[in-house]
Amino acid sequence: MKSHFLKLLTFLSLLAPSFAHEGPWTASRPDGHGPISVMGDHMHSMGEWMVSYRYMTMDMETLLKGANSVSVDSQLGTTSVGDFEMVPTAMKMDMHMFGLMHAITDKWTIMGMVNYLDNKMDMTMAHFMGTTRHDHGMEAESSGLGDLKFVGLYDLAKWNNGRRIHLNLGLSIPTGSIDEKSGADILGYGMQLGSGTWDFNPAITLLGQTDKYSWGAQIGGTFRIGENDQDYALGDKFCASLWGARIITDSLSASAKFDFSSQDEVDGNDSRLDTRYGMMPSPGFSPSSQGRDLSTFGLGLNYYFQEGELKGHRFAAEWETPIDQKVNGVQLELDSTWTLGWQYAW
Ligand SMILES: [Cu+2]
């Protein structure tokens, strides 16, 4: 994790001196907002409001043990019971995110976000008759409101060369359910809709613009405050992002982004899931098969209407794929993420 972080900083320090222009940073260009997957990338001027909607869809399939691909057979056993009796084989997570931003002063922009989640998971369950394994396919679903998030963005400094830096101070409120079930059975950690804990989300964001290019870097984390009412806390998370964008027309820009995140395994354990694990060992019910190190590369487009009926509206899309990933325990491998978004400020 440290070496990725150092590489990122070195890369950034090489770029930073050359990527500057005359005048202050401005939002009124397509790359005036970061790639759509970045949260809290920009601030507003006093009195401005912004509404946004994002649709994010993540696909996961095939199993990883640490950094290595493993087969379903290797986990379920072929002639006798293996490490697990049930493993996930695919998962799709859809997220609808609604956001509201308002700059109460030039120094402070406040932001609220609420998510609606929709998770689907396919699993294979096995049992043995002598030395013959019988497989059953199973499906699980969960959907509903996620955790509510409030963020204060504080302007630390603005320079007259297109650069600025701000602080992100986020608080996540546990409105999302951690009691999602399939029939009478509690679902695994990854299928729950919230963390169940109050979480602190600090970050620092650095932005720069030249006439044709822009870049940004954000480093932050998620820290769980205490444990939830089931006596566990999801793992703390560290995130670093670095992106660059180029203006193609007055309305269109294209971006490339590198992301690194590292999330710890679950701290503590949900006794309801321990009971399920006792009856049917599965990585989804295990605190040590949660969290991962993930490096991704993303490509995106931002479109900013400068005139006509849609003047001021922004549409953006971004596709991200892993370049390196290492899971804790045994988990599904992340395949790709798409983020589509709309933003309107006035
Ligand atoms: Cu905004």
- The sign of the dihedral angle between the CA atoms of 294, 231, 168, 345 is positive
Output the CA 68–ligand 1 centroid distance in Å.
40
Distance from Cα 177 to the centre of ligand 1, integer Å:
28
pLDDT tens digits for range 50-67? 999 999 999 999 999 999
Ligand 1 centroid to Cα of residue 99, in Å, is 9
Is residue 7's pLDDT more than 70? Answer: no
How many angstroms separate the alpha carbon of residue 110 from the centre of ligand 1? 9
Over residues 169-213, the pLDDT tens digits come to 999 999 999 999 999 999 999 999 999 999 999 999 999 999 999
Biggest alpha carbon–alpha carbon distance for the chain: 76
- The distance from CA 52 to its chain's CA centroid, rounded to whole angstroms, is 17
pLDDT at 324 over 90: yes
| CA-based R_g, the chain, Å | 22
The rounded Å distance from CA 16 to ligand 1 centre is 24
CA–CA separation, 244 vs 241, rounded Å?
10
| Beta-carbon count within 10 A of 254 CB | 16
Give backbone dihedrals phi and psi of 219, rounded to 5 degrees, phi first: -125, 130
Mean pLDDT, the chain, whole residue set? 94
Distance from residue 207's CA to the centre of ligand 1 (Å): 14
User: In the prediction, which pLDDT does 13 show?
Assistant: 56
Say what the pTM is. 0.90
Percent of the chain at pLDDT > 90 equals 92
Dihedral over Cα of 259, 99, 53, 188: its sign: positive
DSSP 189-203: GGG-SS-SSEEEEEE
Ligand 1 center to 252 CA (angstroms): 18
Dihedral over alpha carbons 185, 189, 191, 196 (to 10 degrees): 100
193 CA distance to ligand 1 centroid (A)?
25
Q: Which of 16-20, 22-26, 106-110 has the lowest mean pLDDT?
A: 16-20
Residue 102 alpha carbon to ligand 1 centre in Å = 8
Q: How many Å lie between the centroid of ligand 1 and the Cα of residue 261?
A: 24
Q: How far apart are CA 96 and CA 51, in angstroms?
A: 14
Mean pLDDT of 228-248: 97
CA of 154 to the centre of ligand 1 (A): 13
Q: How far is the CA of 210 from the centre of ligand 1 (A)?
A: 21
pLDDT value of residue 1: 47
Structural domains of the chain sorted by starting position, each given as residue range(s) with its CATH number in brackets: 2-345 (2.40.160.40)
Ligand 1 centroid, distance to 260 Cα (angstroms)? 23
What distance in angstroms lies between residue 256's CA and the mean position of ligand 1's atoms? 20
pLDDT band at 5 (very low <50, low <70, confident <90, very high): low
3-state secondary structure of 7: helix
- Range 220-248 average pLDDT: 97
DSSP 285: G
Using 50, 70 and 90 to split pLDDT, how confident is the model at 4? low
> Of 23 and 274, which is predicted with more confidence?
274
User: Cα–Cα distance between 19 and 72 in angstroms, integer?
Assistant: 48
State the distance from the centre of ligand 1 to the C-alpha of 329, rounded, in angstroms: 38
Is the model's pLDDT at 14 over the cut of 90?
no
* Residue 264 pLDDT > 50: yes
Residue 15 pLDDT greater than 70, yes or no: no
User: By percentage, how much of the chain surpasses pLDDT 70?
Assistant: 94
Per-residue pLDDT, 3: 59
* Interacting residues of 169 by C-beta distance below 8 A, sequence separation 6+: 151, 152, 153, 154, 201, 202
Between the CA of 299 and the centroid of ligand 1 the distance, in Å, is: 21
CB 28 within 8 A of CB 306: no
pLDDT in tens, 109-151: 999 999 999 999 999 999 999 999 999 999 999 999 999 999 9
